[in-house]
Structure 1
Amino acid sequence: MIQELSYVGLASPRSEDWRDYGPNLLGAMLVADGPGGAVRLAVDDVDYRIEIHRAEADEFRYAGWGMANETDLHAYVDLLAGRGVDVHQGDQTLCREREVAELAWFSDPWGLRHELSWGKSATPNSFQPGRVMRGGFVTGDQGLGHVVFQVPDLVEANRFYADTLGFRLSDRIINDHFNIRFYHVNGRHHSLALAETPGHIGFNHLMLEYRHMDDLGRAIDLLARNDTEIVQTLGRHTNDLMTSVYIGSPSGLQIELGYGGLVVDDLSWVARTYRKPSYWGHRYTGNAMTKARGIIRSIA
C-alpha cells in the first residue's frame, strides 16, 4: 500500500518566482533544476520533493505517492489493475526525471494524475534550510505533508480514493459551507483531503509542517517582506489539531504552513464528524472572500 506523499509537481508562468519564495519564505532548500529549467525544492534529505515546471498557465501536474519497495509497488499496481484502474508504466526517462527507481501512474476520474514509485533519491545530511530555522520540516515516515483536492462529487471521489486506492478515512467536516473528507496513509493525520466543489476539479493547497512553532511564527513575520498575502489567519484545526496559517503562492495554489499536527494510530483511531474546521482563527482575509483559491478548473 501507499506509504507517503512523496512529491508534488505543478507548472506555472511564474515558476521562477519560486526560487525566492521557496527558500526565503517557506524555508525550503533550492536544489539543481529539473528538465526544462523546472524549479526544484527540498524540505529534507530527499533530493527534492516539490517541482515547479515552466508553463503558460498555472497547472497541477502530479502527486507522487511513495511505496516501501519494488515488491509493494508491483503488488499494488496489480491490485489496481484488477479493480479497473488504467495504470501505466513509467519509462526510464521519466524515472530519471523523478529520481526514482521505478514508477507507474494513473489518473483519477476527473484527470488528476497520480504517480506511484519507490526508491526516490536521497542524500544524508544534505538539507540546509533556505532561511534561519530551528528545526526544519516534519517529514520522515510522515512524508512531504498533505494535499487537498477539490472534487465535483465527494461520494464518487471517496469510492475511488478509499474503496479502490485504499486511502484510510481519518475524519470529516460537514456544515453549510464544507463537505470534506480527510485520509491518512501513515501516522500523519491526513496526507490527502477531498473537498466537494460541484462543477469543479483542482488543487487547493499543499501543507508543510514545521518542527518548531518559532519557524511558523518567523514565516508569518516574513510575509510582508516577501509580498505574500495571508489567505486565512493563524488558527487551530479541530480535527488534526494543527496550528497553521494559509498563504498565497506565486502559482495559484495556497500553501498551509503548520505546526503540531496530530499523529494517528490505526490500531485505536476512530473517525469522527466535525461541524467546525477550527477551534479558533483561520479567518478569511478580505481578498480571500472574493477570489477563488487554488489551481481549479470548471468541468461540464
Structure 2
Amino acid sequence: MLARSLGYVAVASPDAKQWLEFGPEVLGMQAVEADAGTVLLRMDDTDHRIAVHHGERNRMLYAGWDVGSEDALDAAGELLRERGIAFETGTDEERAARGVLGFLAIEDPSGLRHELFYGQKVVPGSFQPGRPMSRFITGPQGLGHLVLATPDLKRSDRFLQGVLGFKKSDEIYTFIDLWFYHCNPRHHSLALTPMPGVRGLHHVMVEVAEFDDVGIAYDLCMSRKIPLSMTLGRHVNDRMVSFYVRTPGGFDLEYGWGAVTVDDETWTVAQYDRPSVWGHQMVAQTPPGALEAVTT
C-alpha cells in the first residue's frame, strides 16, 4: 500500500480570504495567511492540512498522501516507472510550500493531481484552535477524507486500488452512488461518486473528538446564516454523526464525530441502499462549486 493517510489538500478560490474568518470562528481551525493571498488551515501541530490559494474559480488543486518515509517514496517511484505511469518530482519551492521533505505527483484517470509525500513538518504544541473545542481526529488517520467526483468510476477504482493501494470499505447505491476506500483505520480516507463529464472535489470531511463540537459548529452556521448542504444526521456505513456546510471554496465540508474504524482482519465489505440512518436532509439545491466539466 502506497498511501498511508491523507496529509493535506489544496484548492483554489476567488474567496480565499474568507477562510481567515470561516476556518477559525466556525470550524475551530487555526488560519495562517501566507504569501500571494494563500490561507493555510491548521488542525493539529502539522504545518497545515488545508491550503486555499487565491484563484479565478473554485477548484481542487491537489491532494497529498503520506507514504511514511523516503525509502517508501523511492519505492513508489520505482513502482510507477515499472508501470509506465508518468510522475513529477516536487521542486524545492513546492516542497517548502507544502511543508514536506519530498513528494511525487501523479494524475488519476479523471485528471486530478495526487501527491505522494513523506516528512510532513510538525511543530509540537503549536496548534491554537480558533475557538474553544476538544480536538480534531488526525494523527495516523490523517486529516479526514475526500469525496471526489469522477466521470469514470471503474477506471478511478482501478487506479485507487491498483496504484495507490487503497482497500474497499463499502458501497452505497441511492440518489448518489458512492464507493468508499481506506488506507488506515479511518473508515474511508477517500470516496468516489460517478458524475458523467464531471470531475473535482465534492467534499472534505473533518472529525472532532466530542459530539458537542459538532453541535456548536452547527449552531454557528445557523446563527450566521451560512448555507448548509445537508442537515445533521448519522451515516449508515461509518456511523458518523455530521452535517455538511458549503464553504467559501465552493466545496462542501462535512463536520462530524463518532465514526467507526476499520480492522482489515475482521472487516467485511458491504453495500447499502441509503446513505444515512437518520437526518442528512438535502438543503442546497445546487452541486458543490468545486466541480468542473471534463471531456471523456
TM-score (norm 1): 0.95
Task: Give the equivalent residue in structure 2 for 1:143.
Answer: 142
Aligned residues between the structures: 294
Deviation of 1:8 (Å): 0.5
Which position in structure 1 is the counterpart of 2:91?
Answer: 91
Q: Which residue of 2 aligns with 1:296?
A: 291
Equivalent position SS for 1:86: coil
Native 8 Å contact 2:16 2:37 kept in 1: no
What is the rounded CA distance, in whole Å, between the counterparts of 2:75 and 2:117 in structure 1?
A: 12
* C-alpha displacement of 1:236: 0.5
| SS of alignment partner, residue 270 of structure 1 | coil
SS in 2 for 1:223: helix
Query: Shift in Å at residue 51 of structure 1?
Result: 0.6
Instruction: Report what 2:125 is aligned to.
Output: 125
Shift of 1:119: 0.7
Say which SS state the counterpart of residue 76 (structure 2) adopts: helix
Counterpart check, 1:284 vs 2:282: yes
Cα deviation code 1:187-226 (max 9, x no counterpart) = 1000000001112111100000010001000001101343
| Maintained 8 Å contact 1:234/1:244 | yes
Q: What is the RMSD computed on CA atoms of the aligned residues?
A: 1.1
Letter in 2 for 1:2: A
2:108–2:114 contact (8 Å) kept in structure 1: yes
Q: Deviations over 1:240-270 (max 9, x none)?
A: 0100001111121000000001110111111
Q: Is the 8 A contact 1:103 1:116 kept in 2?
A: yes
Q: Distance in 2 between matches of 1:78 and 1:230?
A: 44
Aligned mate of 1:244, from 222, 238, 242? 242
- Within 2, Cα distance between the matches of 1:112 and 1:35? 24
Asked whether the equivalents of residues 12 and 57 of structure 1 are also in contact (C-alpha less than 8 Å), the reply is yes
1:1-300 alignment to 2 at 5 Å? 1-31=2-32, 33-133=33-133, 135-175=134-174, 177-285=175-283, 288=284, 290-300=285-295
CA drift of 1:127 comes to 1.1
TM-score by length of 2: 0.96
The separation in 1 between residues aligned to 2:58 and 2:230, in whole angstroms, is: 21
Q: What displacement does 1:85 show? A: 1.7
The alignment-based identity, stated in percent, is: 42
CA distance in 2, matches of 1:138, 1:130: 16
**Given that residues 146 and 207 in structure 1 are in contact (C-alpha distance below 8 angstroms), is that contact kept between their aligned partners in structure 2?**
yes
Deviation at 1:35, TM superposition (A): 3.5
Residue 103 of structure 1, CA deviation? 1.2
Q: Return the alpha-carbon distance in structure 2 between the equivalents of residues 65 and 230 of structure 1.
A: 28
Measure the CA separation in 1 of the matches of 2:85 and 2:267. Answer: 29
**Letter of the structure 2 residue corresponding to residue 240 of structure 1:** D
Distance across 1 between alignment mates of 2:267 and 2:77: 27
CA distance in structure 1 between the partners assigned to 2:82 and 2:271 by the alignment = 32
1:294: how far off? 4.0
Partner letter of residue 168 of structure 2?
Answer: L
Deviation at 1:76, TM superposition (A): 1.5
Deviates most, 76-85 or 154-163: 76-85
What runs of 5+ residues in structure 2 fail to find an aligned partner? none
